[in-house]
Structure 1
Amino acid sequence: MLKDLMWLGLEWDEGPNKDGNVGPYRQSERTDLYLKYAERLLASGHAYKCFCSDEELEAMREEAKAKNLPPKYNGKWAKASNDEIEAELAKGTPYTYRFRVAEEGNVKINDLIRGEVSWALDTLGDFIILRSNGQPVYNFCVAVDDATMKISHVLRAEEHLPNTLRQVLIYQALGLPLPKFGHVSLILAPDRSKLSKRHGATSVSQFKDMGFLPQGMVNYLALLGWNDGTEDEIFTMDQLIAKFSIDRITKSAAIFDNMKFRWINGQHLRSLPETELIQMCGEFWEKSGLLSSREGSFVEDAVHVLKGSLEVVSDAGKCLTDLVSYPLEESLCSLEVKEIVDDNLKEVANAILATYDTGELQKAYESGHEEWQKWVKSVGKSMKRKGKRLFMPIRLLVTGKTFGPDIGSAVELLYKAEASGILNTKAGLVTLAERMERLKKINWDNVSEKIASLNAKSPENAAALIH
Structure 2
Amino acid sequence: MFRSQGGKFILRIEDTDLERSTRESEEAVLRDLTWLGLEWDEGPNKDGGVGPYRQSERTSLYLKYAEQLVESGHAYKCFCTDEELEAMREEAKAKNLPPKYSGKWAKANKDEVEAELAKGKPYTYRFRVADEGSVKINDLIRGEVVWALDTLGDFIILRSNGQPVYNFCVAVDDATMQISHVIRAEEHLPNTLRQALIYQALGFPMPKFGHVSLILAPDRSKLSKRHGATSVGQFKEMGFLSQGMVNYLALLGWNDGTEDEIFALDQLIEKFSIERVTKSAAIFDNTKLRWINGQHLRSLPEKALTQMCGEFWEKASLLTVHEGPFVEDAVRVLKGGLEVVSDAGKGLSDLLSYPLEESLCSPEVKEIVDDNLREVADAILTAYDSGDLQNAIKSGHDEWQKWVKSAGKSMKRKGKRLFMPIRLLITGKRAGPDIGSAVELLYKAETSGVVHAQAGLVTIAERMKRLKEVEWDSVSEKLASTVKAPESATVLAH
TM over 0.5: yes
Q: Deviations over 1:289-325 (max 9, x none)?
A: 1111135300000000001000000110000000111
* Counterparts of residues 60-139 of structure 1 (less than 5 Å): 60-139=88-167
Q: Does 2:385 align with 1:385?
A: no
| Residue 351 (structure 1) aligned to one of 379, 386, 411 | 379
Asked whether the equivalents of residues 140 and 208 of structure 2 are also in contact (C-alpha less than 8 Å), the reply is: yes
1:400 and 2:428 correspond: yes
**1:291 paired residue among 306, 316, 319:** 319
Structure 2 residue matching 1:427: 3-state secondary structure: coil
Alignment of 1:69-218 (within 5 A): 69-218=97-246
Residue 174 of structure 1 deviates from its aligned partner by 0.2
**Correspondent of 1:316 among 344, 347, 353:** 344
Which range moves more in the overlay, 365-374 or 139-148?
365-374
Structure 1 CA distance for aligned equivalents of residues 122 and 415 of structure 2? 87
Which deviates more, 152-161 or 392-401? 392-401
1:239-278 alignment to 2 at 5 Å? 239-278=267-306
Write out per-residue CA displacement over residues 76-102 of structure 1, whole angstroms, 9 at most, x where no aligned residue: 000101111111111101011100001
- After superposition, the CA RMSD in angstroms is 1.0
CA deviations 1:383-411 (Å, max 9, x no partner) are 22222221111111111111111111001
Q: d(CA) in 2 for partners of 1:345 and 1:135?
A: 76
> In 1, distance between residues paired with 2:106 and 2:166?
22
Per-residue CA deviations over 1:247-305 (Å, capped at 9, x if unaligned) read 00000000000000000000000000010000000000001111111353000000000
Deviation sequence 1:419-448 (CA, Å, 0-9, x none): 112111332111000000000000112222
Q: Give, as a single letter, the amino acid of the residue that structure 2 aligns with 1:314.
A: S
Which structure shows the bigger proportion of residues in helix conformation?
1
30, 38, 46: which is aligned to 1:18? 46
Q: Deviations over 1:93-140 (max 9, x none)?
A: 101110000110000100000011111111100001011111111000
Measure how far apart 1:224 and its partner are.
0.3
Residue aligning to 1:460: none
* Equivalent of residue 35 in structure 1, options 54, 63, 66: 63
C-alpha separation in 2, matches of 1:445 and 1:25 = 75
Aligned amino acid, residue 48 of structure 1: Y
- Give the distance between the partners of 1:123 and 1:4, measured in 2 at CA: 40
Contact 2:310–2:323 (CA<8 Å) still a contact in 1? no
Distance 2:310 2:395 in 1: 25
SS of the counterpart of 1:326? coil
Counterpart of 2:360 (choices 332, 336, 342) is 332
Provide the rounded CA distance (Å) in 1 between the counterparts of 2:41 and 2:137.
27
Paired position in structure 2 for 1:370: 398
Q: Match of 1:420?
A: 448
Residues 212-271 of structure 1: CA distance to partner in whole angstroms, max 9, x if unpaired?
Answer: 000000000000000111111000101100100000000000000000000000000000
- Distance in 2, Cα, partners of 1:212 & 1:450: 41
Return the match for 1:50 from 45, 54, 78: 78
- Call closer, same or farther: CA 1:455–1:84 in 2, change over 3 Å: farther
Counterpart for residue 18 of structure 2: none
Deviation at 1:378, TM superposition (A): 2.1
CA shift, 1:362, in A, is: 1.6
The normalised TM-score by structure 2 is 0.91
Could you say what secondary structure the match of 2:150 adopts?
Answer: helix
Partner of 1:22, secondary structure, is coil
Which sections of structure 1, spanning at least 5 residues, go unmatched? 457-467
Distance 1:82 1:455, change over 3 A: farther
- Please state whether the residue corresponding to 1:85 is helix, strand or coil: helix
SS at match of 1:167: helix
CA distance in 1, matches of 2:394, 2:118: 95
C-alpha distance in 2, partners of 1:31/1:116? 34
SS, match of residue 18 in structure 1: coil
Instruction: Give the Cα–Cα distance (whole angstroms) in 1 for the partners of residues 67 and 201 of structure 2.
Output: 12
| Counterpart code for 1:87 | A
